[in-house]
Structure 1
Amino acid sequence: MLRSNIRPDRLTLPYVLKSVAGLVDCELGRVIHGVIAKIGIEFDSFVRVSLVDMYVKVELLGCALQVFDESPERNKLGSILLWNVLMNGCCKVGDLRKAKELFDAMPVRNVGSWNSLINGFMRDGEVDRARELFDCMPEKNVVSWTTMVTGYSQNGHHEKALSMFSQILEVGVKPNDLTVVSALSACAKVGALEAGVHIHKYLSSNGFWLNKAIGTALVDMYAKCGNIESASQVFAMTKEKDLLTWSVMIWGWAIHGCFQQAFEYFDKMKSKGFKPDGVVFLAILTACSHSGQVDKGLSFFESMKLDYAIEPTMKHYALIVDLLGRAGQLDEALSFIKNMPLDPDMVIWGALFCACRTHKNTEMAELTSENVLQLEPKHPGGYVFLSNIYAGAGRWEDVERVRNLMKNRGAEKDPGWSCIEVDGHVLSFVAGYHAHEHTAEIYQKLEEITRSARKQGYTPETEWVLHNIEEEEKEDALGSHSEKLALAFALISTSPKTTIRIVKNLRVCGDCHSMMKYISRMNEREIILRDIKRFHHFKDGICSCGDYW
């Protein structure tokens, strides 16, 4: 255009600035700004907004503020877009103080102004301030509600996200696709199957199309809530699939221990013309690891590199270590680590340690823990690993020394929690929890089922307790694990023969795993437990993992 001596105008240059923002080219943005000044249209309101927007998106907030401050129209009622663009930019770079200052100084606000600041607070983890602002809004639109649902979910407040979604329906606002996807994501995180089914029914009866985004979110929700059959059905009904949809379905089969289906869907995906990426290979390697398919897993790992030119990440290497370790090939796993082109991290050594503990290789486990502590002196995992080793060997003074070291260095162990959904409400339990309104009934039920299980042959596996205490006290400590508390509450709160679904944030211990098998047979209940690694389906005294976990 310039070479043709055609002068750009106030309609042309905003599109040029939009392209500059897309390229994130700071220098080019300054050049275009110079051209705008030379032409003499930099004070045009449309151009002015585009300049601020461009500077915000190329992360030159100082320049954006300067353009804003030099805008004579900024205090006029019609300048709301200029204020919103700058405030949104401040929120994106985390300058909430400036964003709030702009919000308070605005001559007039619209719903977009409120939404931008609420989103900024949510992005920064200021959940309560976001809610306070939301409650003060003179009017709300679907974006306002969606921002709250998404913000709650992304900040780990999944129950509040679902409560907010319910309020959306109560006030008669029709959610958009992003609202639905965020709500389904919250269901998936806490295993809220009942809430997820309710959302699915709402979608079906209100004309929502099963597009890629919603279809994928539903598959993910059903898979992570323990209903892999429904996940498979939704997957089949989703006509418009992308690579992510296939990835989520393969992941679902993998974490449920259905390796044959995972392999089958991997082949189907390729036959449909989709080229697997690194995420798909993580899913397929997980399927191999959980099922003991060592040769198959190693073959996939090599194919990823040779056939698809995908460079393995630390996560891929960790899965191979886990694959070999679970199968008892500890020497091979250690050799694999030593020959990795990447320096092994906490996850790598953690995978090897878990295998060492399972196969009772104390010497290698001690080596593993030392590597963990060298890598991250403040990470609690290394101290827990090492105290596990010493406890297993009865070296209680060393256990106490490691625990004191852990405390002195400020390394805190993540507390174990489990949650269940009862009558549409998600309830959480932590180990040793006594503050629940039904505490007495929960512990009474726990004692009852433990006595019954003992008569059937159950023996508490006290090696999972690390303290130097008497065996009877160890059994009491095992009884307060969060998944057992959740199980006891489910037994007194749900109808006989109802499936019990529990989500745990850590790996289930061997004792709780054993107890679940006995309870599933004695109470004629199917128990579906999701821990940090995989699903365990307990039925008639048998676990779907085949005790290979």
Structure 2
Amino acid sequence: MKALRMLFSKPPPAKTPSFNPIFIDEPQFISLIHSSKSIKHLQQIHAQIILHHQFSNSRIVTQLISSYSFKNNFINHALSIFRHFNNPNLYIFNSLIRALADNSYHMSSISYFVLMFRSNIKPTTLTFPFVLKSTAALQEGWLGMEIHTQILKLGLLCDRLVLLHLVDMYAKVGLLECACQLFDESSQWGDEARSTLLWNVLINGYCKVGKWGKAMELFEVMPEKYGSTWSTLINGLMKAGEINRAMELWRSVEERDVVSWTTMINGFSQNGQHEQALSMFFEMLEEGVKPNDQTIVCALLACAKAGALETGTRIHDYILSNGFALKKGITAALVDMYAKCGSLENASRVFDMAVEKDLRTWSVMIWGCAINGYLDKALDCFNKMKSTGIKPDGVVFLAIITACLHAGNVDHGLHFFDKMKHDYSIEPTMKHYAVIVDLYGRAGRLNQALRFIKNMPIDPDFVIWGALFSACRAHKSIQMAEYASEKLLELEPKHPGGYVFLSNVYAGAGKWQDVERVRTKMKNKGVAKDPGWSYIEIHGQVTSFVAGDHFHDRSDEIHLKLDEITKNAREFGYTPETEWVLHNIEEEEKEESLGSHSEKLALAFALISGDDLKVIRIVKNLKICGDCHSLMKHASKMTKRDIVVRDIKRFHHFKNGSCSCQDYW
């Protein structure tokens, strides 16, 4: 990065004259800072420090900077204190560099590290771990080598903490040869230098790049294998999608502690095997291993992804009955779980009961309102959050603009997009741009969407062109769809989306020769369409279906029930929307093809599983098609049950023949 390189060549800033520090009441102020419970309390102490002329006391100011850094969204206060302190010393620099690194202001952390050098202050073993953490986050290997050189010059490489973070940095930026060389050289300082953490860092690095053989080789020659090492290797395998290898290793663990159980639960969830993740969570409880906060968060995340409301409620009951404190992490996970399971009422209840709400807690609540289609509630949350003094970040603005998208409120969405840039100086990401394109596109303002894309300051990616393409299909704009498709295939020639999108547009226009041409091209390039699948939870058990599924034990009953639903729905005015089947086949065959969609199979399964299901909840990995949407509306009226479908875009709450999206999705 040019900005980073320039830091090493700029002249040092001019120094401001200093005055003698005053040390009156120093222990008292430090004690007060440590005991502060809220940002308001800390600011009151800050004011007293200034009134008592203690702002020149470096020990007090160091503690003040550290305390501000632990309060969410108040890192700017720490920066302001530093800038107003005359001649900051080693401890103040260390405190600020750590604060910036811990709050993910990695570029700033490196900048102040350079300023420290130029101020003729030598960094210590307490400086480099946080500088290296920021270097790894920035993925700047050349910068890591520069810092490595400084460590050697200062003779600090033999420090175990510095060595650990240096190896970790090299592993994270992909320079595993450098990491391995340092690891090998550490043997000259004795076995103590090669701590378990150092072994774990290197093993995890090799797992990350898929070098299982090297990772296993290191694992086998470790002098002592602690639980953390087993978990590190299992976690690395899970992150790489090597589930079977991870399970095999897991079975070899003799003493499974809470960390190893949590690693497996999280790993299954990350790989989309949410049923297995939840099964392992309850197996853990049966084994008598008590979960920690992280385990609870991982289990709730699996519930959120699978739409397993009943299981999530069961875990919530476990939390309350086993004395877990509703800390910010668990609170946010509970709000997220209830919102993503379509129970915004329960999400709001947990949110309202939270004693302390940080940015994460507010953002998941706003997201919950957005995906469930409640724009007014999202805006109300947004305004309340600001009134508490918490500044919105890019994630919050993305949620608000998404809420405007689902409500079809283009002007509101554009207003918040501009507000984010101009009032809060937040640079839009590709996700923000994609939502604006979708916002224009769904409203049929295709020319404005295309103009917006062409004026973007960054090159549009696959998602941007995909958003435009979807809008072209919905509004039957073939010419622009062809243009968007060309852009999609230029970016990712083997991605199925571009081909499927284009064949969909041609099929909708009845251009079957063009459909055949596109599908032949797909076949020749070895491109396969992603299958549709759906999750449904019945009596605490999560079941998945794929499109055309005939493998379920009750498959015959499911298909008979689906035929019955379709037949009865016809009497209520339902007509299969066969244009959603994109093949040049007879009408009867099209209707049969529509009947195999995974969400319909999940619905039929729910209806044969008992009359006690008042609300049927389905999670789908793709956008729901128009025909399934129509059938769900009729089914909700016929069965007198609420049906909640969460697709890849949003929630659809079907009740008494209508949908919460008002047919705008």
Q: TM-score, normalised by structure 1?
A: 0.91
1:382 CA drift (Å): 1.2
> 2:184 — aligned with what?
66
For the pair 1:215 / 2:331, whether they are aligned, the reply is yes
1:243 CA drift (Å): 1.0
> 1:413 — aligned with what?
529
For the pair 1:56 / 2:56, whether they are aligned, the reply is no
> 2:499 — aligned with what?
383
Instruction: Tell me the secondary structure at the aligned position of residue 133 of structure 1.
Output: helix
> 1:282 — aligned with what?
398
Picking from 569, 573, 586, the partner of 1:453 is 569
Whether the 8 Å contact between 1:250 and 1:265 is mirrored in structure 2 is: yes
1:389 CA drift (Å): 1.6
Instruction: Give me the whole-angstrom Cα distance separating, in 1, the residues matched to 2:202 and 2:652.
Output: 45
- Taking a change above 3 Å as real, the CA distance of residues 117 and 376 of structure 1, as seen in their structure-2 partners, is closer
Whether the 8 Å contact between 2:503 and 2:518 is mirrored in structure 1 is: yes
Instruction: Give me the whole-angstrom Cα distance separating, in 1, the residues matched to 2:261 and 2:379.
Output: 40
Whether the 8 Å contact between 1:26 and 1:58 is mirrored in structure 2 is: no
> 1:156 — aligned with what?
272
Within-5 A mapping of 1:319-468:
319-468=435-584
Whether the 8 Å contact between 1:446 and 1:484 is mirrored in structure 2 is: yes
Instruction: Give me the whole-angstrom Cα distance separating, in 2, the residues matched to 1:231 and 1:354.
Output: 31
- Taking a change above 3 Å as real, the CA distance of residues 17 and 325 of structure 1, as seen in their structure-2 partners, is closer
Within-5 A mapping of 1:66-105:
66-71=184-189, 73-74=190-191, 82-93=195-206, 94=208, 95-105=211-221
- Report the AA paired with residue 169 of structure 2: V
> 1:204 — aligned with what?
320
Within-5 A mapping of 1:218-297:
218-297=334-413
- Taking a change above 3 Å as real, the CA distance of residues 20 and 480 of structure 1, as seen in their structure-2 partners, is closer
- Taking a change above 3 Å as real, the CA distance of residues 35 and 428 of structure 1, as seen in their structure-2 partners, is same
Whether the 8 Å contact between 1:88 and 1:120 is mirrored in structure 2 is: no
> 2:630 — aligned with what?
514
Instruction: Tell me the secondary structure at the aligned position of residue 493 of structure 1.
Output: coil
Instruction: Give me the whole-angstrom Cα distance separating, in 2, the residues matched to 1:155 and 1:190.
Output: 12
For the pair 1:503 / 2:619, whether they are aligned, the reply is yes
- Report the AA paired with residue 280 of structure 1: V
Instruction: Give me the whole-angstrom Cα distance separating, in 2, the residues matched to 1:112 and 1:480.
Output: 46
Whether the 8 Å contact between 2:618 and 2:646 is mirrored in structure 1 is: yes
Whether the 8 Å contact between 2:469 and 2:485 is mirrored in structure 1 is: yes
State the number of aligned residues.
527
Instruction: Give me the whole-angstrom Cα distance separating, in 1, the residues matched to 2:128 and 2:507.
Output: 64
1:414 CA drift (Å): 0.9
Whether the 8 Å contact between 2:476 and 2:505 is mirrored in structure 1 is: no
Instruction: Give me the whole-angstrom Cα distance separating, in 2, the residues matched to 1:54 and 1:337.
Output: 42
- Report the AA paired with residue 132 of structure 1: E
Within-5 A mapping of 1:106-145:
106-145=222-261
> Once the two structures are superposed, what CA deviation does each residue of 1:494-513 show, in whole Å capped at 9, x if it has no partner?
32552100000000000000
What is the percent sequence identity of the aligned residues? Answer: 59
- Report the AA paired with residue 318 of structure 2: Y
Runs of 4+ in 1 over 6 A off after TM superposition: none
Identify unmatched segments of 5+ residues in structure 1: 3-11
1:114 CA drift (Å): 2.1
Instruction: Give me the whole-angstrom Cα distance separating, in 1, the residues matched to 2:127 and 2:629.
Output: 61
- Report the AA paired with residue 355 of structure 2: K
Whether the 8 Å contact between 1:56 and 1:64 is mirrored in structure 2 is: yes
Whether the 8 Å contact between 1:51 and 1:67 is mirrored in structure 2 is: no
1:371 CA drift (Å): 2.6
Instruction: Give me the whole-angstrom Cα distance separating, in 1, the residues matched to 2:612 and 2:134.
Output: 60
1:91 CA drift (Å): 1.3
> 2:19 — aligned with what?
none
> Once the two structures are superposed, what CA deviation does each residue of 1:227-246 show, in whole Å capped at 9, x if it has no partner?
11111111111121111111
Instruction: Give me the whole-angstrom Cα distance separating, in 1, the residues matched to 2:231 and 2:277.
Output: 16
Whether the 8 Å contact between 2:335 and 2:350 is mirrored in structure 1 is: yes
For the pair 1:186 / 2:302, whether they are aligned, the reply is yes
1:276 CA drift (Å): 1.2
**Range 474-483 or range 365-374, more displaced:** 365-374
Whether the 8 Å contact between 1:422 and 1:494 is mirrored in structure 2 is: no
- Taking a change above 3 Å as real, the CA distance of residues 371 and 523 of structure 1, as seen in their structure-2 partners, is same
**Range 240-249 or range 111-120, more displaced:** 111-120
Identify unmatched segments of 5+ residues in structure 2: 1-88, 91-122, 136-143, 171-177
Instruction: Give me the whole-angstrom Cα distance separating, in 1, the residues matched to 2:480 and 2:358.
Output: 43
Whether the 8 Å contact between 2:187 and 2:193 is mirrored in structure 1 is: no
Instruction: Give me the whole-angstrom Cα distance separating, in 2, the residues matched to 1:20 and 1:352.
Output: 42
Whether the 8 Å contact between 2:203 and 2:233 is mirrored in structure 1 is: no
Instruction: Give me the whole-angstrom Cα distance separating, in 1, the residues matched to 2:425 and 2:458.
Output: 17
1:410 CA drift (Å): 2.3
For the pair 1:524 / 2:635, whether they are aligned, the reply is no
Q: Give the RMSD, CA atoms, in angstroms.
A: 2.2
- Report the AA paired with residue 382 of structure 1: G
- Report the AA paired with residue 274 of structure 1: I
1:151 CA drift (Å): 1.6
> Once the two structures are superposed, what CA deviation does each residue of 1:452-479 show, in whole Å capped at 9, x if it has no partner?
0001110000000011101011000001
Instruction: Tell me the secondary structure at the aligned position of residue 545 of structure 1.
Output: coil
Instruction: Tell me the secondary structure at the aligned position of residue 608 of structure 2.
Output: helix
Whether the 8 Å contact between 1:504 and 1:530 is mirrored in structure 2 is: yes
1:30 CA drift (Å): 4.5
Instruction: Give me the whole-angstrom Cα distance separating, in 2, the residues matched to 1:103 and 1:449.
Output: 56
Instruction: Give me the whole-angstrom Cα distance separating, in 1, the residues matched to 2:613 and 2:273.
Output: 31
Whether the 8 Å contact between 2:203 and 2:219 is mirrored in structure 1 is: no
**Range 461-470 or range 115-124, more displaced:** 115-124
- Report the AA paired with residue 556 of structure 2: A
- Taking a change above 3 Å as real, the CA distance of residues 17 and 383 of structure 1, as seen in their structure-2 partners, is closer
- Report the AA paired with residue 88 of structure 1: V
Whether the 8 Å contact between 1:52 and 1:67 is mirrored in structure 2 is: no
Whether the 8 Å contact between 1:51 and 1:64 is mirrored in structure 2 is: no
Instruction: Give me the whole-angstrom Cα distance separating, in 1, the residues matched to 2:228 and 2:442.
Output: 53
Picking from 641, 652, 657, the partner of 1:536 is 652
1:430 CA drift (Å): 0.8
- Taking a change above 3 Å as real, the CA distance of residues 212 and 472 of structure 1, as seen in their structure-2 partners, is same
> Once the two structures are superposed, what CA deviation does each residue of 1:383-439 show, in whole Å capped at 9, x if it has no partner?
111111211222212111100101212222111011101121111111111111111
Instruction: Give me the whole-angstrom Cα distance separating, in 2, the residues matched to 1:114 and 1:490.
Output: 40
> Once the two structures are superposed, what CA deviation does each residue of 1:361-391 show, in whole Å capped at 9, x if it has no partner?
3333233223322332222111111111211
1:14 CA drift (Å): 5.9
> 2:594 — aligned with what?
478
1:35 CA drift (Å): 5.0
- Taking CA–CA contacts closer than 8 Å with sequence separation of 6 or more, which of the two structures ends up with the larger relative contact order? 1
Whether the 8 Å contact between 1:257 and 1:291 is mirrored in structure 2 is: yes
